[in-house]
Amino acid sequence: MLKRKGLWLITGMIFCLLVLAACGKKESVQPQPIDEAVDTCAQCHMAIRNNGYAAQYVTADGKSVKFDDIGCLHKYVGEHKGENIAESFVQDSGTKEWVTLKDATYVDAMNVPTPMGYGVHAFKDKAAAEKFIQEKGAGQVITYEQLQQHEWKMDKSHMMPHEGMQHGDMKHDAKQDHSGQHGESMQHEEMKGEHK
């Protein structure tokens, strides 16, 4: 009888430990896939392509905020300090796989186009980054820590083409983004419309 009570006691304790372990285990944050039909960049409002350059962060409450270029992600986060970000992700430029921002290796190659011309390319590891440099004949490897000190400059001549959209077609509230470069062209277009 005592043996049976002891067995039940041990079984009960194991069950309680398993329940506690399951409750304490946090589900890992996962990136959401890109939907080219509807996804637009939160910073520049251009269409997002599943092309190996998209980025996103996921908030603590599960909301995904997506970007067409790593530079747009960094600009947006810098301007929205209050966001409760659980995890940030970038696509591997070669494989399009999602990699956490902190775990990726980067290549700074301004003369190799990116969607918004920031020239930063992400890779899942250093070997992939070095292969990219060898193939392109340009760029230098930078770490996540170095990326935090990176000066985000946009080179409009090295932007990837956006299908069916001219850079002057961005939404009105994108005017001030990217150091006013797009704003100038938009104001020019608006003034032309007023004088017709």
Residue 57, beta-bridge partner list? 65, 88
Residues in CB range of 51: below 8 A, 6 or more apart: 91, 96, 115, 160
Q: Is the pTM of this model over 0.75?
A: no
Domain boundaries, the chain: 29-148
Residues in CB range of 45: below 8 A, 6 or more apart: 170, 171, 173, 174
Over residues 68-95, the pLDDT tens digits come to 999 999 999 999 988 899 999 999 999 9
Per-residue pLDDT of the chain (196 residues), as tens digits, is 555 555 555 655 565 555 455 454 446 899 999 999 999 999 999 999 999 999 999 999 999 999 999 999 999 999 998 889 999 999 999 999 999 999 999 999 999 999 999 999 999 999 999 999 999 999 999 999 999 999 999 999 999 986 544 444 444 333 334 443 333 333 333 333 444 4
Beta strand 64-67 with 85-91: parallel, antiparallel or unpaired?
A: unpaired
Best CA proximity match to 71, nearest among 141, 35, 122 = 122
Cβ-based burial of 49 (10 A; exposed 0-12, middle 13-18, buried ≥19) = middle
Cβ-based burial of 69 (10 A; exposed 0-12, middle 13-18, buried ≥19) = buried
